[in-house]
Amino acid sequence: MMTATAMNTANKFDIENLNLFYNNGANHALKDITLPIPSKKVTALIGPSGCGKSTLLRCLNRMNDLIEGVKINGRLEMDRENVYGNIDIANLRIKVGMVFQKPNPFPMSIYDNVAYGLRAQGVTDKKKLDEVVERSLRGAALWDEVKDRLKSHAFGLSGGQQQRLCIARTIAMEPEVILMDEPTSALDPIATKKIEDLMEELKKNYTIVIVTHSMQQARRISDRTAFFLMGELVEHDETANLFANPRDDRTRGYVNGDFG
Ligand SMILES: Nc1ncnc2c1ncn2[C@@H]1O[C@H](COP(=O)(O)OP(=O)(O)OP(=O)(O)O)[C@@H](O)[C@H]1O
């Protein structure tokens, strides 16, 4: 197995000794996390409720900045640049897009949802917008289902379609990374399968980090898995290895379903 250092050039993020505290230090939610996140792969974050998966995900695009009383120390680099340094945060959040548990399309048409970010950046050229909307909807495997009703309201789509629309909206901004916080937990098995198939395609172009409660999902879709427990990163490895040969008894217990 390659070490984190040997893999360094292929890492999108390098996280080292990262600590995060909520409530001005009262809740130590991430404890000394060291985790490389490789480029153009799917990394799954797993572990029982409250272990810090979403907190770590939100560190990657500084969404935790929006929460009062959060303190962070340690190193978190993206492409060797300090994410917590003096950087343009709006630009970071374009480069590191996010898809949430509950599909959250904006209250407007399918087309306008996908064009929203570009328009906010001042793009008005219809040809350019049409082009990006089509490319993004194709990229999110939704184009064929909606191409004849782009002006329809997004809320008329099924939950699974809405989630793919949110992915299209994210892709439209040409991110480098897509963070997904339990993106299929509100979806039925067929819609879930479509999103999982889509991730297989997306990872050719993007680095994906996904929080999932489903170990089956982590096994199906991820290249690497990191197992968290009470704010600690217990172990991380190639997904197949982590499930077949966990090094730590706590990981073994979790993946065997002994607790959850
Ligand atoms: N906004 C917040 N303010 C204060 N504490 C928080 C906040 N968000 C999370 N926490 C705390 O941080 C710890 C980790 O929570 P987090 O949501 O990251 O875990 P998780 O593994 O994603 O859980 P789940 O699987 O239930 O979503 C928990 O103790 C939680 O109560």
pLDDT class for 258, splitting at 50, 70, 90?
confident
Host domain of residue 185: 8-255
Q: Is residue 133 in some structural domain?
A: yes
Q: Is 68 in the pocket of ligand 1 (CB under 6 A)?
A: no
Any atom of ligand 1 within 6 Å of the Cβ of 52: yes
* ipTM of the complex as predicted: 0.97
Phi, psi of 245, rounded to the nearest 5 degrees: -135, 65
CA angle 190, 165, 48 (to 5 degrees): 60
User: Strand pairing partners for 153?
Assistant: 109
Q: DSSP label at 147?
A: T
Minimal-distance CA residue to ligand 1 atom 29: 50
Radius of gyration of the chain (CA): 19
**Atom of ligand 1 at shortest range from CA of 47:** 21
In a domain, 167, yes or no: yes
Type of residue at 239: T
Residue 1 lies in a domain: no
pLDDT tens for 162-216 read 999 999 999 999 999 999 999 999 889 998 999 999 999 999 999 999 999 999 9
Could you tell me the two tokens for 226? 């990191």
Could you tell me if 177 and 206 are in contact, meaning their C-beta atoms sit under 8 angstroms apart? yes
Residue 108's region, left for phi above 0, alpha for psi from -120 to 50, else beta, is beta
The CA–CA distances, whole Å, from 36 to 6, 14, 106, 122 equal: 11, 5, 34, 36
Report yes or no on 260 lying in a domain: no
Q: pLDDT by residue (tens digit) across 225-241?
A: 999 999 999 999 999 99
- 62 within some domain: yes
For atom 16 of ligand 1, the residue with the nearest CA is 52
Q: Looking at the domain assignment, is residue 197 inside a domain?
A: yes
CA distance 31 to 88: 26
Pocket test for ligand 1, best of 54, 180, 182, 254 (most atoms within 8 A of CB): 54
Question: What CATH number is associated with residue 38?
Answer: 3.40.50.300
| Cβ of 51 below 6 Å from ligand 1 | yes
The string of pLDDT tens digits covering residues 33-74 is: 999 999 999 999 999 999 999 999 999 999 998 899 999 999
Report the C-alpha gap between 79 and 195 in whole angstroms. Answer: 27
Mean pLDDT of the chain: 94
Q: Which of 19, 53, 98, 102 to mutate to test the pocket of ligand 1 (most atoms within 8 A of CB)?
A: 53
User: Atom of ligand 1 at shortest distance to CA of 45?
Assistant: 21
pLDDT in tens, 53-63: 999 999 999 99
**Distance between first and last Cα of the chain:** 28
Q: For residue 50, how far is its CA from the centre of ligand 1 (angstroms)?
A: 5
How many domains in the chain? 1
Q: What residue has token string 């040997």?
A: 6
